[in-house]
Structure 1
Amino acid sequence: MNVKRLFGTILTILGIIGLIYAAVVFANTGGGVRDIKALTIYGILGIVFFIAGIGLVKTTKDES
């Protein structure tokens, strides 16, 4: 397996975890400033990691 594909898979999984955690924070939010900051940070990082991971997996050719 290619190292770029492996790194893309890891980034995708981290992105999914970040998005799930952002959803949990959103579901348990009380509306405080700290909750909104955490929701924003984890949501943006989750989206960035997910998109970067999917992009790496799609563009890396499998040369075995």
Structure 2
Amino acid sequence: MNLKRTFGAILTVLGIIGLIFTGVGVINQSGKITTMVVVGIIAILFFFTGISLIRTTKDEV
């Protein structure tokens, strides 16, 4: 398996976990607003970076 594709999958999973964490924090109104905003932005960056790495990496034999 390609290393870039593996790293992309890891980033995507971390992004999904961060988005879920942010969503739960917002719904429960736990934590400060700035913390939730920062975690949400980082999670979105991880998610979209991981997806783009998976998409743009070509399979080589």
The verdict on a shared fold, with TM-score over 0.5 as the criterion, is yes
1:37: Cα distance to partner?
1.1
Structure 1 partner of 2:27: 27
Kindly provide the amino acid, as one letter, of the partner of residue 7 in structure 1: F
Deviations 1:5-55 (A, max 9, x none): 00000000000000000001101116xxx5201210110011000000000
- Counterpart Cα distance in 2 of 1:19 and 1:42: 8
Paired positions, count? 61
Equivalent of residue 49 in structure 1, options 36, 46, 49 = 46
Percent identical among aligned pairs is 52
Q: Which has the larger radius of gyration?
A: 1
Equivalent of residue 39 in structure 1, options 36, 49, 57 = 36
- Counterpart Cα distance in 1 of 2:29 and 2:17: 18
Moved over 3 A (4+): none
